Chains A and B, each alone.
Chain A
C-alpha cells in the first residue's frame, strides 16, 4: 500500500542516486513543468513515466498514489473546461456556462501539468528513504545556518513528523475500534452525531498523541539527544551515475529552454 511518504526499497538507478541529486532534479523539473509551453510539458510527462518504468515502479503504484486526488483532478478539469471563453461546443443554460474546445484543451493541459508534478514527487518519495531525504534537505538548508536557523533541529523535526504519522493512524484505528466495541454505529447516525463522534475521536487521539510525544521526548533525552549539531548514518557521496544524471538533466533542460520559444 502506498501512503504519503512511503518508501519502497529497491535496486535501480533512481534508488542509488544521491538524494541531493534527486531532490534538486525534482525541484528543477517542477519549475519546468509549470513554466514550459503545453506541448513541452507533455514531453516531460512521458519522460517521467519512462523513468518510473525504468526503475521498476509499476504504473499501478503511481495510480494508487494518485487515487485520493481523483476528485481534485476532475474538479480542476471541469472548472477550466466550463469557465473558459471560446466557441461553445455545448452551451449550458445555467450561469452562462459553456463547454468550449479551448476550455477542454486548457483543462487537459492544466491537469497534465498537475499530474506531472505529482508523478515527479511520487518518484522522489518512492525511491528515497526518509533518512536520506532528511540529510539532503539538511544539506540544502545549510547556508541558512549563517542566519541562525537551527537546521539540525529542523531535520530532527521532519524525522519525528514522519515517525508520528503511522502512530497517529494506529491511534485513530484503536479509538475507532474502542468506540465500535461499545456499540457506536456511525453509518446509521445523523450528521450532528457524526460531527460529535468526530470531535470526540480527535480529542482522544490528540491527548493520546501528546502523552506519547512526552514519553518519546524523554526517550530521546535518554539517548543523549541535545539540540544542535548531529552527525548522520547516511553518507552523501556523488558517484559517476550522479554526475551522469546531472549532466543529462542539464543538457535536457538547456534544450528545453532553447526549444520553448519555438513552440507556439
Chain B
C-alpha cells in the first residue's frame, strides 16, 4: 500500500507549491494512470513515491515506511522502481547487462545473484538477446525496455513510469505498453503518467491532476463521464468516447461511458441492428 497524506511540495523555499495537499492511496497490484495538463505536478508526485523528493509538509508512506525516514530510504527505493521519461538520462551502463546490473550492484548482492536477476529482468521485458549489446546501438523502444529491466532487477512491488510511450512510434509504443500490462498481470503495482487518453482508458483507475491537486479520481468510465470537468482543464476524451458522444448528440441511442474498442464495436453493431429492423 502506498499512502500520501496531505502532501505539499515546493521546489524552492520562496517558490509556489508544486503539490498542494495531495492525498492518495494505492493498493498493491493496482494499475493507475496519472493524467493532467503540463506542469500540473504529475512528475513531482511520482518522484515522491520513492523518496527522490520529500514532502515539504504531509507524509508519504510506502509499505509501512515513511519516505522521510532516512533509515528506510533504501527499502522504499527497492519497493518502488522509477522509470524516467528519457531513458538516455537514466541508463548508466555502456552495455545492456551492465546497466541492468547497476541496481543489484547498489544493493550489494553477490555476483551470482546479480547475474540471475539481470537474466530474469531481461527475459521479463522480452529482450534477453540484447544482453551484450552496446546501449548506443539500441532503438528508442529498446532503450525504454532496458530502463524498465533496470528497475525490475531490483524486484520492486511498484513501478512508477513517467510517460513510458513518449517519443515512440506506434509499434514500439505497443511493445512497451504490452510489457507494462504483463508486469501488472504478474502482480506489480503500476502508476503511469500519460498524455494519451486511450492509453489511460486501458487502466483500472485514472487520477486526474490539475494545479498541484487531485482533480478527479475513479475508474476510466466514471472519469470520461465528466466531460465538462475534463474540458475545463483542457483535457480531451479518448476518440472512441468522443465519437459515441457525437452519435448520441445527433439523437442515436448509444451509451457513451465507453472507453475501449470492443465495447464501442458492440454499441455500433447494436445500432446497426436497430437500423436494419
Given contacts A223-B77, A223-B102, A224-B78, contact A212 B89 (CB under 8 A): yes
Q: Which residues of B contact A225 (CB under 8 A)?
A: 102, 106
- The answer to whether the Cβ of B151 comes within 8 Å of any Cβ in the partner chain is yes
Q: Indicate if the CB atoms of A216 and B90 lie closer than 8 Å.
A: yes
CB distance from B137 to the nearest CB of A (A): 10
- The answer to whether the Cβ of A131 comes within 8 Å of any Cβ in the partner chain is yes
Q: Which residues of A contact B91 (CB under 8 A)?
A: 163
Q: Indicate if the CB atoms of A229 and B114 lie closer than 8 Å.
A: no
Q: Indicate if the CB atoms of B103 and A224 lie closer than 8 Å.
A: yes
Q: Which residues of B contact A232 (CB under 8 A)?
A: 101, 105, 111, 114
Contact indicator per residue, chain B 262-277, by CB within 8 Å of chain A (1) or not (0)? 0000000000000000
In the complex, the chain A residue whose C-beta lies closest to that of B160 is A222
Q: Indicate if the CB atoms of B154 and A224 lie closer than 8 Å.
A: yes
Complex Cα distance A162/B81, Å? Answer: 25
Given contacts A166-B136, A231-B110, A233-B111, contact A222 B105 (CB under 8 A): no
- The answer to whether the Cβ of B118 comes within 8 Å of any Cβ in the partner chain is yes
Q: Indicate if the CB atoms of A163 and B93 lie closer than 8 Å.
A: yes
Q: Which residues of B contact A215 (CB under 8 A)?
A: 84, 86, 89-90
- The answer to whether the Cβ of A218 comes within 8 Å of any Cβ in the partner chain is yes
Q: Indicate if the CB atoms of A224 and B74 lie closer than 8 Å.
A: yes
Pick the residue among A130, A166, A230, A233 that contacts B108 (CB under 8 A): A230
CB distance from B11 to the nearest CB of A (A): 13
Complex Cα distance A200/B110, Å? Answer: 47
Q: Which residues of B contact A223 (CB under 8 A)?
A: 77, 81-82, 92, 102-103, 106, 150-151, 154
Q: Which residues of B contact A130 (CB under 8 A)?
A: 94, 98
Give the residues from 208 to 264 in chain A that come closer than 8 angstroms, CB to CB, to chain B: 212, 215-216, 218-226, 229-235
Complex Cα distance A215/B98, Å? Answer: 19
- The answer to whether the Cβ of A129 comes within 8 Å of any Cβ in the partner chain is yes
In the complex, the chain B residue whose C-beta lies closest to that of A160 is B92
CB distance from B236 to the nearest CB of A (A): 29
Q: Which residues of A contact B151 (CB under 8 A)?
A: 223
Chain B, interface size: which category?
A: 35 or more
Chain A, interface size: which category?
A: 20 to 34
CB distance from B129 to the nearest CB of A (A): 14
Pick the residue among A9, A159, A166, A226 that contacts B92 (CB under 8 A): A159
Q: Which residues of B contact A224 (CB under 8 A)?
A: 74, 77-78, 103, 106-107, 154
- The answer to whether the Cβ of B97 comes within 8 Å of any Cβ in the partner chain is yes
- The answer to whether the Cβ of A74 comes within 8 Å of any Cβ in the partner chain is no
Complex Cα distance A54/B104, Å? Answer: 37
Q: Indicate if the CB atoms of A233 and B92 lie closer than 8 Å.
A: no
- The answer to whether the Cβ of A167 comes within 8 Å of any Cβ in the partner chain is yes
Best-surrounded residue of B77, B82, B98 (most CB of chain A within 10 A): B98
Contact indicator per residue, chain A 109-140, by CB within 8 Å of chain B (1) or not (0)? 00000000000000000000111000000000
In the complex, the chain A residue whose C-beta lies closest to that of B105 is A230
CB distance from A229 to the nearest CB of B (A): 7
Q: Which residues of B contact A162 (CB under 8 A)?
A: 94
- The answer to whether the Cβ of B50 comes within 8 Å of any Cβ in the partner chain is yes
Q: Which residues of B contact A159 (CB under 8 A)?
A: 92-94
Best-surrounded residue of A221, A224, A230 (most CB of chain B within 10 A): A224
Complex Cα distance A159/B91, Å? Answer: 12
Q: Which residues of B contact A222 (CB under 8 A)?
A: 50, 52, 77, 81-82, 84
In the complex, the chain A residue whose C-beta lies closest to that of B102 is A223
Best-surrounded residue of B108, B132, B151 (most CB of chain A within 10 A): B108
Q: Which residues of B contact A235 (CB under 8 A)?
A: 111
Complex Cα distance A233/B115, Å? Answer: 6
Contact indicator per residue, chain A 153-179, by CB within 8 Å of chain B (1) or not (0)? 000000110110011000000000000
| Interface CB pairs A-B, < 8 A, 5 | A159-B93, A219-B89, A223-B103, A226-B74, A233-B118
Apart from the given pairs A129-B98, A166-B136, 15 other A-B contacts in the complex at a CB distance below 8 Å: A162-B94, A163-B94, A212-B89, A216-B89, A216-B90, A216-B92, A218-B52, A219-B82, A221-B52, A222-B81, A223-B82, A225-B102, A226-B74, A231-B111, A233-B118
